[in-house]
Amino acid sequence: GAVVSQHPSRVICKSGTSVKIECRSLDFQATTMFWYRQFPKKSLMLMATSNEGSKATYEQGVEKDKFLINHASLTLSTLTVTSAHPEDSSFYICSAFWEGSNTEAFFGQGTRLTVV
Amino acid sequence: AQTVTQSQPEMSVQEAETVTLSCTYDTSESDYYLFWYKQPPSRQMILVIRQEAYKQQNATENRFSVNFQKAAKSFSLKISDSQLGDAAMYFCAYSAYNNNDMRFGAGTRLTVKP
């Protein structure tokens, strides 16, 4: 099956700094990627839809200036958490959609962000 | 907006027995997809089974099968001959036919007892 690689798997950063998370589709071109946030023992909450070559579409309540998304190529989307605060600590997961996959989404391994 | 509801936060099953996880959803669309994903402790999301709403036949993947009731907007997952490796969080998810962002239920934590 298709592989989506997410990096880093774990990151610790200081309050006020920014951290970038990468999501790569390794063996297919992903026209659309999605970013989710998962709190401990909770479900995945969709943050934004990332479309190659255009601006991301953010879900209601998600601060687009804090969570910057860039989808510069068909194989890479990045999520940058700017001016991170402890409340941004969470598990972030990306998924990629390939038109030939019959609507199956392929998920990255996730990134555990801890802001100290 | 589409919503997905999983009313069972936790379920437990004896090894080799059968367990059914419940899921209901709300949508005004006629064409859509439904999924069950498994999330083990590694947190990697693994697709268990998928159902296209236009198909009346229930999807089956080895020990996993669904009971899709479109009129009732119900989509339950049956796991037969449960194995220790089935222990995980299970998420029900919905995706519209022409929009691929998935909406997830709250999840059900499945414990398999040896």
Residue of B nearest to A101 (CA): B100
By the 8 A CB rule, do B82 and A14 touch?
A: no
Q: What is the CB neighbour count within 10 angstroms for residue A46?
A: 18
pLDDT tens for the 114 residues of chain B, in order: 679 999 999 999 999 999 999 999 999 988 899 999 999 999 999 999 999 999 989 999 999 999 999 999 999 999 999 999 999 999 999 998 766 678 999 999 999 999
Using a CB–CB cutoff of 8 Å, tell me whether A8 touches chain B: no
Instruction: For residues A7 and A110, give the distance between their C-alpha atoms in angstroms, rounded to a whole number.
Output: 8
Give me the pLDDT at residue A102, please.
Answer: 60
Instruction: Note whether A54 contacts B: Cβ–Cβ < 8 A.
Output: no
Mutate to test the interface with A, among B45, B52, B90, B109 (most CBs of A within 10 A): B45
Per-residue pLDDT for A27 more than 90?
Answer: no
Residues in chain B within 8 Å Cβ distance of A93: 43, 45
Task: Give the chain B residue nearest A91 (alpha carbons).
Answer: B43
Q: Which two tokens stand for residue B22?
A: 């419940």
Q: Which of A9, A44, A104 to mutate to test the interface with B (most CBs of B within 10 A)?
A: A44
pLDDT at residue A1, as a whole number: 66
Q: Are B105 and A97 inside 8 Å of each other by CB?
A: no
Q: How far is B101 from chain A (nearest CA, A)?
A: 7
CA distance A79 to B48: 27
CA distance A71 to A88: 21
Which of B44, B102, B106 lies at the smallest CB-CB distance from A105?
B102
Q: Are B90 and B36 in contact (CB under 8 A)?
A: yes
Let me know: does B34 contact B54? Beta carbons within 8 Å. Answer: no
Q: Classify burial at A7, counting beta carbons within 10 Å of its beta carbon; exposed 0-12, middle 13-18, buried 19 or more.
A: middle
CA dist B2 and B66 (Å) reads 20
